[in-house]
Amino acid sequence: QAGEREMTWADFSAFWSANRHLLAQRTIEHLQLMGMALAAATLVGLPAGIVAARVRWLATPLITLANVIQTIPSLALLAFLLPFLGIGAAPAICALALYAIMPVLRNTLAALQDESQNLAAIGLALGLTPREILWRIKIPQGLPLLVSGLRTAAVWSVGTATIAAFIGAGGLGEFINRGISLLDPALMLLGAIPAALL
């Protein structure tokens, strides 16, 4: 049995070695999907959070909308986007961005509404404008929360991006999809292990 396990491990290692160039290509595709989705989510979520922090009545509807999007199953969201964006990377990036907006928006609001250190009131007393208070006090003070939101969005995007293979968007999900179709555990692990490491 020990000999069989060693042979299996050797075969598995040889399989990974033979597919390392394709693995690198799929990993780059996966990172590109994630990167573009995170950039889009940041470009939408950060300004929306800044506006909602200043116009308080907008906060609840925006957070509710972001939460509703989170409840939509990823395959259902991709199926909804296909008629509008076609097959490929575009609907995958759009879906990933929609999922990633929620943690960015929520943490931006939490960072800008945090009055625990009362630094904004001190800045106001010193004669700073609301814009100066935002950029010189609130954003630097809330940077750990902002980065935490981006990190959460990135973690969600890594897992969700594997579903993108079902619509021809590439990435590590291609291995998982083919492995399921062919009942090949080595192919599944070729996609699952790097995705988990990411």
Q: What is the pLDDT of residues 131-149, one digit of tens each?
A: 887 888 888 888 999 999 9
| 99 CB-side CA count, 13 A | 28
- Residue 71 to residues 6, 74, 102, 152, 193, Cα–Cα distance (Å): 44, 9, 11, 16, 26
pLDDT band at 5 (very low <50, low <70, confident <90, very high): very low
Contact call for residues 191 and 179 (beta carbons, < 8 A): yes
Arithmetic mean of pLDDT over the chain: 85
pLDDT band at 6 (very low <50, low <70, confident <90, very high): very low
Share of the chain above pLDDT 70, in %: 91
pLDDT band at 10 (very low <50, low <70, confident <90, very high): low
Q: What is the pLDDT of residues 29-85, one digit of tens each?
A: 999 999 999 999 999 999 999 999 888 899 999 999 999 998 998 888 988 998 889
Rounded distance, CA 88 to CA 68, Å? 25
Share of the chain above pLDDT 90, in %: 38
